[in-house]
Amino acid sequence: MVIQQLRIPEGTVVSLRLVPLQQSLSESVRGPLMILWGAVGVVLLMGCVNIASLLLARIPARAQELATRIALGGGKSGIIGQMLTESLVLAMAGGLAGVGMGYLGIYAFKAWVPPDLNIWQVVHLDGRVLFATLGFSVLTSVLFGTLPAFYASRLNVQAGLTDGGSRGVAGRQIRWPHRIFVIGKITMGFVLLTGAGLLVQTFLHLVNVNPGFDASNLWAAKISLQDSRYGDQARVNHLFNESLANIQALPGVDAAAVSLCVPYERPLNAGFVRLDGPDLDGRSHTSNVCYVTPGYFQTLRIPLRAGRDFERLDTADTMPVVIVNETFVRQFFPNQ
């Protein structure tokens, strides 16, 4: 363990914030997952509104049946219980279908994702998923089955028995909820299609954006040097030089290099203080640092805008050399 004493200026307030482990591990994916959950919720809401609208539309056609049940002593409570039971059966059938589709989807992802990306290996359906599906099914059946059941219980028994059902329920009373459901479905569908269009546009933009390097015809490999044979820097450097020489001697290899990380991987964080240039404030800044060997930019086909590339003569005994990107220059050394 290395303990370093820090000099904190007088008057500086230092505070620590504890974050749950799950939140820390999932912080980078929490935002996209919440967006997906929102889209799933809108789709669920559209499906429930559609089912409720269909149940409302079927009430006039079932007026004679419902009027007969009431005339035989079923009562309004019996009609409401029957309608809620039918809604519950539909919701449970949908929940079971959703569980089956989820199982097939996870199985397909596991078969499609390469073995080295084993993030899907820990995803599975358990009792919590089944309990949540059951709860949502019951909740949706009650919420969106109550309104059709309420209008069905207000059936005019005499009109339902004599007219065959066309006037068994007051037309205007049932039209307005149906129209509201239709307007709600169209509104939610428009919102969902707009969001999907924005996501597709963002995806196409990310596909076509220039990442700053050329990933075609590249091979990357990772090694761990936690071995007693590489206890000092000299042996590590010898391993790198010998490995690069052997790789570059292979037919078809144009360039090869060793780096601490590849693009889009998390590098080291290093603090620094500006010692020259305009607008010096004396504050400490943080930047990402990645150690590389000569030939790194040639291998990834990263263009060098100014200055020189790393050379074999740049060693631990010579003046330290660093190459920064354009964003670093624009932020800390503009117009220099």
> DSSP assignment of 199-247, as one string?
HHHHHHHHHHS--SS--TT---------SGGG-SHHHHHHHHHHHHHHH
Q: How far apart are CA 326 and CA 333, in angstroms?
A: 10
Domains identified in the chain, total number: 2
Q: Which two tokens stand for residue 171?
A: 């037309």
Shared-domain flag, residues 278 and 160: no
Q: How far apart are CA 203 and CA 211, in angstroms?
A: 14
pLDDT of residue 149: 73
Backbone angles phi, psi at 325, to 5 degrees: -90, 175
Shared-domain flag, residues 201 and 262: no
Shared-domain flag, residues 202 and 260: no
132 occurs within a structural domain:
yes
Closest CA to 220 of 287, 299, 120: 299
pLDDT of residue 1: 37
Per-residue pLDDT of the chain (336 residues; tens, 9 = 90+): 344 455 666 777 777 888 888 777 777 778 878 888 887 887 887 777 777 777 777 777 666 666 776 666 666 777 777 778 888 888 888 888 888 888 888 888 777 776 665 565 567 788 888 888 888 888 887 777 777 777 766 666 665 556 554 454 545 556 666 677 777 778 877 877 887 888 888 888 888 888 888 888 888 888 877 766 777 778 888 888 888 889 988 998 889 999 988 888 878 888 888 887 777 777 788 888 988 988 899 999 998 888 898 888 888 788 888 999 988 888 888 877
Shared-domain flag, residues 262 and 169: no
Question: Is pTM, for the whole model, over 0.85?
Answer: no
Q: How far apart are CA 284 and CA 282, in angstroms?
A: 7
DSSP assignment, residue 8? P
Shared-domain flag, residues 280 and 200: no
Domain final residue, candidates 182, 206, 230: 206
3 occurs within a structural domain:
no
DSSP assignment, residue 61? G
pLDDT of residue 168: 46
3-state secondary structure of 270: strand
Burial class (CB in 10 A: 0-12, 13-18, 19+), 27: exposed
CB–CB of 75/204 below 8 Å? no
166 occurs within a structural domain:
yes
Shared-domain flag, residues 201 and 298: no
Q: Which two tokens stand for residue 122?
A: 């820990």
Q: Give the other-Cβ count within 10 Å of 64's Cβ.
A: 19
Domain of residue 143 covers 32-206
Shared-domain flag, residues 180 and 281: no
Shared-domain flag, residues 183 and 88: yes
Q: Which two tokens stand for residue 263?
A: 């693009």
Shared-domain flag, residues 49 and 127: yes
226 occurs within a structural domain:
no
pLDDT of residue 281: 72
Kindly list the distances between the CA atom of residue 97 and the CA atoms of 17, 88, 326, in Å, as whole numbers in the listed order: 44, 14, 52
Burial class (CB in 10 A: 0-12, 13-18, 19+), 86: middle
Query: What is the identity of the amino acid at 17?
Result: R
Shared-domain flag, residues 173 and 114: yes
Q: How far apart are CA 228 and CA 237, in angstroms?
A: 15
16 occurs within a structural domain:
no
Shared-domain flag, residues 41 and 147: yes
165 occurs within a structural domain:
yes
112 occurs within a structural domain:
yes
Q: How far apart are CA 142 and CA 124, in angstroms?
A: 28
240 occurs within a structural domain:
no
Shared-domain flag, residues 186 and 320: no
